[in-house]
Amino acid sequence: MTTNRSRSVFDFYGRPPLTRALPLSLQHILAMIMGTVTVPIIVAGTVGASSAETLLLIQISLLASGVSTLIQLYGVYRFGARLPTIFGVGFAYVPTLTAVGSQFGISGILGAQLIGGLAMLLVGVGIRPLRHLFPPVVAGVVVLVIGLSLYDIAIRYMAGGIGNPHFGEPAQWAVALVTLFVVLCISQFARGFMKLSAIVCGILVGYGLSLALGMVDFSPVHNASWFSAPQLMPFELTFPAAAVISMVIICVVNSVQTIGDLSATTIGGMNRELGEKELSGGLLGNGLCTLVGSLFGALPTSSYSQNVGIIAMTKVVSRTVLALAAVFMLLAGVIPKFGALMTTIPYPVLGGATITVFGMITMTGIQLLTRDELSSRNMTIASLALALSLGVYAAPEALDALPPMLKLAIGGSPVVVAAITAVTLNLLLPKRSLDDEHQERERIAAKMNDSDRQGSKSSGRTQSDTEAKSVSAR
């Protein structure tokens, strides 16, 4: 019994054989690799970095992803959640990074990031007295908005990726839909190990179709070197006040996303609530990686919601499986050709494979929301947070007249608006006492009983009338 448990992929401490763990780990690698690589490419384009600087940003982002994930899985002193979670350079920071980078360059980003990492550490240290600020209704709204805000990314991937000259062409959609079809069929009709590997199978089929259609570009593999070591302080660090304030805000708000993702991991993958020690360790580990990473040129790290979705969908929580993904990211960081091979997967393949994962994130947010009673107070918090965050996300030009500092902080991230709205309403709206709630339930139950009685009487009268008519007819 113990031996079977120790080899189970559904046990956090399980150590499944490599032949079983590696394909499951590959799903996490494929879900995170493009995001980890794409963010530094976007930032490099914003700051006008050279090709050598761009490659350096990509390399150190891969390394940061591997190191931060291992810290979260195994822990170092008080740092790390010790949960089945993947961390790395995330899209949540992109609006702030590009806004800061366009004004202050990469040095301004990294300098502000160092202070942002300190802010994360402070949040991690003081999270216990602040935990009441993030009940399930707040964490659920944040996770729900994260999932909803990822849909446009998935659709753009399915259409070929922004900047692709063939964006939206039938061939792009065909590859994406075939990939999605394979994922759906295997996840719904296959059994056992094959069912758990649905995303990998979909990507393999989509990649093969892409090769046949000539959509795969191997030039990144040819251009990448075989080995490259990280450097301390490859860029100068500067600390512009506007950049620091903006980065501190997004880092603190990202801590709310981390709370949501860690909660979604324990609920969706382990069927339990998140512990205080796990929460504090996760925030401290993320703050440490963000702070130290700035000294090596790595961009800020966050939890990967797409990987949370995979865990919720497959229930595979073995840290051995996730550690293999982290080791791969480390290898990809020191052997650029290794990572470059993964970047040859076309965007339509990734979009078709991950849109189901993004949907699972949304459903996990709904699951979190319903952990508490859907009272009128909680429904007000959730509905208003969703309306404001997604409304601003759909119409970003509505913020053009705001002060640049405020627009810089919230302009492109619906998660920021959702978190601020939900936390504020949770503090301001009065909570009903237990006696009030009990009386309300009794009142509703009494009304339902009265309604049932009236219905029974009405039914009895109808039956008597029918019998009388029958006798009269005779």
Residue partners of 413: CB distance under 8 A and separation at least 6: 92, 95, 96, 250, 253
Q: Please, what is the Cα angle at 282 between 280 and 287, to 5 degrees?
A: 95
Distance in angstroms (rounded) separating the CA atoms of residues 8 and 193: 12
Q: How many other β-carbons are positioned within 10 Å of the β-carbon of residue 416?
A: 26
- Distance in angstroms (rounded) separating the CA atoms of residues 197 and 269: 16
Residue type, 411: G
The predicted pLDDT at position 79 comes to: 93
d(CA 317, CA 311): 7
Question: In the prediction, which pLDDT does 192 show?
Answer: 62
> Could you read off the pLDDT tens digit of each residue along the chain, which spans 474 residues?
444 457 888 888 888 888 888 888 887 887 777 668 778 877 887 787 777 787 788 888 889 999 999 999 999 988 999 999 999 887 667 767 877 887 888 998 999 999 999 999 998 888 777 767 778 888 788 778 877 877 887 888 888 877 778 788 888 899 899 999 998 888 888 776 677 667 778 888 998 998 988 888 787 777 777 887 788 888 889 888 878 887 887 787 778 778 878 888 888 888 888 888 888 899 999 999 999 999 998 999 988 877 887 788 778 888 999 999 999 889 888 887 776 676 677 889 888 887 887 787 788 788 778 877 778 888 899 899 989 888 887 887 787 787 766 776 665 567 778 888 888 898 888 876 555 555 656 666 666 666 666 665 555 555 555 555 555 555
Structure-derived torsion over alpha carbons of residues 123, 124, 127, 131, reported in degrees to the nearest 10: 100
**From residue 349, how far is each of 119, 167, 172, 236 by CA, in Å?**
38, 13, 9, 38
Q: Say what the pLDDT of residue 3 is.
A: 45
